[in-house]
């Protein structure tokens, strides 16, 4: 009997709440459609039964009871962080949970940077009516009154990752784009950069899947910057596609 495919475990960067569970379910739905038959589960922050450590322990125990042929894939689970940028504290917690689960569990890199994420940011801005839904083509002239802030959470590493998304989004929209950390000082500097580039109104595009920050905190930051706020990336289909790509690469590797 061949080895079963590893379980795809989404490492959700937050506690289990109605909002985070809805995002995880939406991402799992997309990934399931792209990878039919895959067993996809979510592991959250914390030590309860839905915590990542508990989920991985359960998966490895199940594989130990049912595995008939150890010559197949060496992994019982592939853990995919449900995050587009690094964040040292969160990443260390995921690494510890994976290490404690043993060699039958591996983890992948974050979901970004990737051109799909720039397209997802564009979609979210368009959904909020902040930019046209269509990308610019060729030498099309665009109005640059709008400037876009790409807001990342996680410090310098996350900000560096957001710079790639900013370049790609500029190419799609033809407007000034500035990557910023989600704090008042960085947002203020970003607004200044956009003003210097000719922008007079601003939009905040959260470079986040969702559970990393509360909706109220995000709204307050956008208001402080004088910017309209686009929705979080959430369960955008690009997130599910990237999860599947990370999972597939882990199996191939």
pLDDT tens figures, 63-111: 888 765 444 678 999 999 999 999 999 999 999 999 999 999 999 999 9
Average pLDDT over residues 14-42: 96
pLDDT tens figures, 154-196: 889 899 999 999 999 999 999 999 999 999 899 999 999 999 9
Q: Which residues share a beta bridge with 179?
A: 150
pTM metric for this prediction = 0.93
DSSP E strands in 82-172: the ranges are 105-107, 146-152
pLDDT tens figures, 122-165: 999 999 999 999 877 654 545 569 999 999 998 898 999 999 99
Name the token pair of 42.
Answer: 């979510």
pLDDT tens figures, 207-233: 999 888 888 889 999 999 999 999 999
| Closest among 148, 144, 140 to 121, alpha carbons compared | 148
- Residue 31 scores a pLDDT above 80: yes
Collect all residues with Cβ–Cβ distance below 8 Å to 30 and sequence separation of at least 6: 235, 237, 239, 240, 241, 243, 244
Contact 1, 70 (CB under 8 A): no
Q: What are the backbone dihedrals phi and psi of residue 43, each rounded to the nearest 5 degrees, phi first?
A: -125, 130
- Residue 1 scores a pLDDT above 50: no
Residues 204, 238, 101, CA angle at the centre, nearest 5°?
A: 105
């Amino acid at each position: 009997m061949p080895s079963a495919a590893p379980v795809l475990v989404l490492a959700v960067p937050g506690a289990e709440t109605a909002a985070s569970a809805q995002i995880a379910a939406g991402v799992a739905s997309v990934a399931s459609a792209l990878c039919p038959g895959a067993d996809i589960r979510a592991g959250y922050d914390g030590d309860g039964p839905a915590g990542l450590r508990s989920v991985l322990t359960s998966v490895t125990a199940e594989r130990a009871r049912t595995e008939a042929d150890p010559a197949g894939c060496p992994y019982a689970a592939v853990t995919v962080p449900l995050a587009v940028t690094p964040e040292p504290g969160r990443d260390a917690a995921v690494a510890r949970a994976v290490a404690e689960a043993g060699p039958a569990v591996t983890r992948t890199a974050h979901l970004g940077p990737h051109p799909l994420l720039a397209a997802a940011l564009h979609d979210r801005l368009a959904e909020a009516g902040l930019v046209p839904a269509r990308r610019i083509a060729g030498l099309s002239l665009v109005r640059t009154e709008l400037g876009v802030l790409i807001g990342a959470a996680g410090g310098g590493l996350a900000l560096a990752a957001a710079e790639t998304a900013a370049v790609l989004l500029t190419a799609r929209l033809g407007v000034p784009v500035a990557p910023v950390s989600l704090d008042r000082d960085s947002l203020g500097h970003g607004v200044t950069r956009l003003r210097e580039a000719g922008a007079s109104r601003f939009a905040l595009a959260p470079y986040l899947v969702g559970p990393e920050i509360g909706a109220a905190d995000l709204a307050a930051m956008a208001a402080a910057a004088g910017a309209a706020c686009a929705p979080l990336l959430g369960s955008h289909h690009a997130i599910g596609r990237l999860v599947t790509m990370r999972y597939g690469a882990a199996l191939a590797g």
